[in-house]
Amino acid sequence: MPTNDKTPILQLQKLQVSYGHIQAVKGIDIELYSGELVCLIGANGAGKTTTLNAIAGTLPIRDGQLMYQGQAINNVPTHQRLRQGIALVPEGRGIFTRLTVEENLRMGAYIRDDKDGIEADMERVFTMLPRVKERLGQVAGTLSGGEQQMVAIGRALLSRPKLLLLDEPSMGLAPLVVETIFEVVQTVVKEGVTILLVEQNANLALEFSSRGYVMDGGNITLSDSGEALLANPKVRSAYLGEEANVA
């Protein structure tokens, strides 16, 4: 749940992002407060992944303001955003397939020099994701999709993020693996990490999120509590596969 801090940890103000002449994000406003789990839902091509990449710094911002902890970071490079506490688990996991699981995890801690803290965080990841520990010496590219997603999340946690961006963490995974992933998400939020979640399973995302934003055609078309969005007939019809009730 959000704290009583008045300043959002993340604030997007009229944010615009383009691919060449194609404007993918058309001036959106989003706010996250410390300790929140907020989801961003919408159809494929709505601009959700583009938004996360712009926050992480892997895509340039065309216009608008990106505020993090009260400071504009439009021109802050990606590696510096990571040092400031912004970590992205990208769509498709983005692991280093030729490295071992342990090497992948330690890549997440490359910005750190607190050896004892790194080892403690490795153990913390193993507690949350015991299968990762079982595969520690295995080449990451030989893992199942669910195991690779666990490694990607574990790697991000090794950077000790304040803001974690999760892009489609359940995509293509078996239900039991999805359950494990969302148990980890809940644990991380309880520990005080703020999460912005893009998730194809809108029902699951809204169930776990304190608030949500609906994105369509590069715009934010609706925002409300997760509970209210779950109950919204238009959301249920468009994103949860239910027929809208017609009066």
SS3 per residue for 116-182: HHHHHHHHHHHHHCHHHHHCCCCEHHHCCHHHHHHHHHHHHHCCCCCEEEEECCCCCCCHHHHHHHH
To the question of pTM greater than 0.75 for the whole model, the response is yes
φ/ψ of 126, rounded to 5, equals -65, -35
Q: Quick one: pLDDT at residue 93?
A: 86
Residue 187 belongs to some domain of the structure = no
* Mean pLDDT per 10-residue interval, the chain, length 247 residues: 70 95 96 97 95 97 97 96 97 94 97 96 96 97 96 97 97 93 96 95 93 97 96 90 52
Residue 55 belongs to some domain of the structure = yes
CATH of the domain at 25: 3.40.50.300
How far apart are alpha carbons 212 and 126 in whole angstroms? 30
- Residue pLDDT, tens place only, 86-99: 999 999 889 999 99
Residue 103 belongs to some domain of the structure = no
Helix (H) or strand (E) holding 2: none
The DSSP secondary structure of 42-86, one letter per residue, reads --TTSSHHHHHHHHHTSS---EEEEEETTEE-TT--HHHHHHTTE
Residue 141 belongs to some domain of the structure = no
Q: Quick one: pLDDT at residue 238?
A: 87
How far apart are alpha carbons 131 and 151 in whole angstroms? 9
Residue 31 belongs to some domain of the structure = yes
Q: How many domains does the chain have?
A: 1
Largest CA distance in the chain: 63
Pick the closest to residue 41 from 167, 152, 156, 179 (CA basis).
Answer: 167
Residue 29 belongs to some domain of the structure = yes
Residue 96 belongs to some domain of the structure = no
Q: Quick one: pLDDT at residue 7?
A: 87
Q: Quick one: pLDDT at residue 247?
A: 38
Which range of residues forms the domain containing residue 34?
Answer: 1-85+163-168+192-247
How far apart are alpha carbons 69 and 84 in whole angstroms? 9
CB 72 within 8 A of CB 66: yes
